[in-house]
Amino acid sequence: MKTIKIKRVEMYHFRGFTKMVVDFGDEVTNIYGGNGTGKSTIRNAFLWCLFGRDAEGRTNFEIKHRDESGETADKVDATVRITLDVDGRKTVLERTLREVWSKRRGETEEVYTGNETVVSVNEVPMNVTQYREKVEEIVTERLFELITTPEYFLTLPWKEQRAILFDLVGGVEDADVAERRADFATLLDELAGKS
């Protein structure tokens, strides 16, 4: 079984924060505050860095920081960096939404042409597919949701719920049954080697 501890979440120009760093303690870190203070933003930053989506499952949501007037600054990247302890090894995951600006032929001014996603693991740049695979090695999105979102289990089809419960409980072997009831031990001896 893998042990994963969140050590730190850093947000730069993400949603409501210009800069926010949350250091997690060794035991429990409580995040609380009034409405609109950024509690959900921390969760959304974490989910976006890991899986490229927010808590609602949206991949296309407002990521960039807005100032008091509601405007976003040009040429400012939104970045989330998560530091994890995975089985005693430090792992740093980073995702950045970078604005792409380019000069068109014959023009003197650069124009905004869209965004690109830039990712790295332990400061090693990679493409999004490679990054996704690295994250999946740490924790699958489904397992993450099952652990962190209690209502997620109830949203799954009943067959998936049943499969998860059987995975948790494990299988029952014939020897386990015979251990509990002596009359089955005799039957199992007679069936030995037969399907």
Give the pLDDT of residue 65.
Answer: 80
Calculate mean pLDDT across residues 55-79: 84
pLDDT at 28 over 90: no
Instruction: Read off the pTM.
Output: 0.79
| 5 beta partners | 85
pLDDT at 2 over 90: no
Three-state SS for 117-165 is: EEEEECCEEECHHHHHHHHHHHCCHHHHHHHHCCCHHHHCCHHHHHHHH
Quick: pLDDT tens for 109-119: 888 888 999 99
**What is the C-alpha to C-alpha distance for residues 174 and 178, in angstroms, rounded to an integer?**
6
pLDDT at 22 over 90: yes
Give the pLDDT of residue 63.
Answer: 87
pLDDT at 131 over 80: yes
Give the pLDDT of residue 55.
Answer: 87
* Largest Cα span, the chain: 90
More confident residue, 1 or 79: 79
